[in-house]
């Protein structure tokens, strides 16, 4: 064989050996790095009695930790749960920030157009119909996935948004926040005949009258109210833009704040964001108005951090509403509501005050104290979620209260720059005297829930109103509950004067 041919043959053999080694190494590396695990989207059956005849679908990210938030996402008319899951963008942020998404689904057997019945008081009120079915889905998810019962949120489009608003009013003890896209105020209509008027014209109600529709949905409730985002296309001629104004009036009134925006800014997609802050400076209500957009959910397809969704029928290219909603709720780990921007009034770094306790009550006052918080220049005291006053010391006396009434208090530290920190755990103070007549009920936790004096979540029973943990939801744990005012229950095992 010629020398030059022999050299080429040796070179080819050497090259083949090198390629073989590289291939082996690549295979080893590939085997050592597992593929990214995918989440699961599936239907869930037997989640409860299901009085509303709904179907339940769930998206659960891979490696979902216990104690994660939970989002309930409700489709619009003529749509399905799968449409909403595929196009809304919620899956992206469920994977990214770690939370499960429940997708309720109605059908033509409930409504000819597969609309949720936001206008039917037999289906959209507390403990009844579709509203009760959705809450059963929440309870199931909390039990099966270990979801945090204090971080449950609901969102929806069109009729789904109308039902989301009703759920926020019916179950403020279940939902920490909501988002209403091209939707209606809570309990705007009580019949299908009245629904069209709500969709297309002003109802000429004052903010207080709108707020009463929420307060009357769960009489006696005195706990914290959900934080609400409102999304509206300015060129929507299916659900007219007046609904977004009425929604803003409704929920700002519930929060006890004015209808003048605390701040306004312009976002992508011709979107104007208006924030309405609570007493601590944290946005309680957010209104997003999108110039030129019609009836649908705003999405912004793409791979950017603030992009999501797929353009489709009623999924309109503009801005990723799911991203800004998730930020508003704090699902990204921020304080929420800014949407998490540095310098947002509610984004202070102070931790929650500890040691909050009731030091005394009279017929008209409640005195509180807590541990001093390093870095706090002052404190804001909230009564039933609304600012009661401020203090520069770790003590406060609230005045002008009603005799024989229970109030829920929390405290927030405020730093020298005026930024509010995290909120303390609540305490309940009950004024002395004979205000509303009290009633006492002694029974096991199971029967207390069945009687409507408590509710169950994650296998535990919680007193309605005060939300006090009563322990396991079964017939073996017994408590005495004191009711005052009507619908507000506190544990009174040590003695209960009716």
Cα(first)–Cα(last) distance of the chain, in Å?
A: 112
Rounded to whole angstroms, the Cα distance separating 295 from 377 reads: 47
Catalytic residue among 88, 114, 149, 158: 158
Q: CA angle, 396 as apex, 393 and 397 as ends, to 5°?
A: 155
Q: Identify whether 182 is a catalytic site residue.
A: no
390-425 exposure pattern, b = at least 16 Cβ within 10 A, e = fewer: ebeebebbbeebeebbbbbbbbbbbbeeebbbebbe
Cβ proximity of 120 and 191 under 8 Å: yes
Q: Residue 65 has which token pair?
A: 């930790």
Question: Any bridge partners for residue 70, and if so which?
Answer: 100, 152
SS3 content of the chain, % helix, strand, coil (to 5): 25, 30, 50
205-230 exposure pattern, b = at least 16 Cβ within 10 A, e = fewer: bebeebbbbbbebbebbbbbbbbbbb
The DSSP string of 264-277 is: EEEETTTEEEEEEE
Q: Residue 154 has which token pair?
A: 């609901």
The residues assigned a catalytic role are 158
């Amino acid at each position: 064989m010629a020398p030059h041919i022999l050299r080429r043959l040796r070179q080819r053999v050497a090259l083949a050996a090198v390629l073989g080694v590289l291939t082996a190494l690549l295979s080893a590396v590939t085997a050592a790095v597992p593929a990214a695990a995918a989440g699961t989207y599936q239907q869930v059956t037997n989640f409860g009695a299901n009085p509303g005849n709904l179907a339940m679908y769930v998206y659960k990210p891979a490696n979902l930790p216990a104690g994660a938030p939970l989002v309930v996402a409700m489709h619009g008319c003529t749509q399905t749960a799968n449409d909403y899951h595929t196009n809304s963008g919620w899956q992206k942020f469920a994977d990214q920030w770690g939370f499960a998404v429940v997708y309720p689904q109605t059908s033509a057997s409930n409504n000819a157009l597969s609309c949720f019945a936001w206008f039917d008081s037999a289906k959209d009120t507390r403990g009844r119909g579709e509203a009760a079915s959705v809450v059963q889905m929440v309870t199931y998810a909390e039990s099966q996935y270990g979801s945090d019962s204090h971080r449950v949120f609901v969102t929806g489009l069109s009729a789904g948004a109308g039902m989301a608003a009703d759920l926020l009013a019916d179950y403020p003890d279940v939902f920490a926040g909501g988002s209403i896209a091209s939707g209606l105020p809570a309990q705007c209509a009580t019949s299908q005949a009245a629904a069209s008027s709500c969709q297309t014209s002003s109802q000429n109600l004052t903010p207080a009258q709108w707020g009463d529709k929420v307060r009357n949905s769960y009489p006696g409730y005195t706990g914290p109210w959900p934080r609400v985002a409102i999304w509206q296309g300015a060129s929507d001629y299916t659900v007219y833009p007046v609904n977004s104004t009425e929604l803003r009036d409704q929920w700002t009134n519930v929060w006890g704040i004015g209808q003048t925006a605390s701040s306004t800014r312009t976002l992508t997609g011709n979107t104007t964001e208006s924030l309405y802050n609570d007493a601590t400076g944290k946005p309680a209500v957010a209104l997003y108005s999108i110039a030129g957009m019609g009836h649908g959910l705003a999405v912004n397809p793409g791979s950017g951090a603030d992009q999501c969704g797929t353009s489709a029928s009623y999924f309109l290219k503009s801005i990723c509403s799911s991203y800004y909603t998730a930020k508003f709720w704090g699902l990204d780990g921020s304080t929420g509501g800014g949407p998490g921007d540095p310098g947002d009034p509610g984004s202070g770094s102070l931790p929650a005050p500890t040691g909050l306790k009731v030091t005394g009550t009279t017929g008209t006052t409640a005195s509180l104290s807590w541990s001093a918080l390093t870095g706090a220049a002052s404190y804001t005291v909230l009564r039933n979620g609304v600012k009661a006053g401020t203090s520069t010391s770790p003590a406060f006396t609230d005045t002008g209260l009603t005799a024989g009434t229970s109030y829920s208090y929390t405290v927030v530290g405020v730093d020298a720059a005026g930024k509010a920190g995290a909120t303390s755990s609540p305490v309940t103070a009950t004024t002395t005297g004979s205000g509303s007549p009290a009633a006492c009920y002694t029974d096991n936790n199971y029967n207390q829930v069945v009687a409507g004096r408590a509710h169950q979540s994650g296998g535990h029973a919680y007193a309605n109103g005060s939300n006090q943990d009563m322990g396991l939801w079964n017939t073996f744990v017994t408590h005495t509950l004191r009711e005052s005012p009507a619908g507000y229950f506190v544990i009174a095992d040590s003695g209960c004067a009716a």
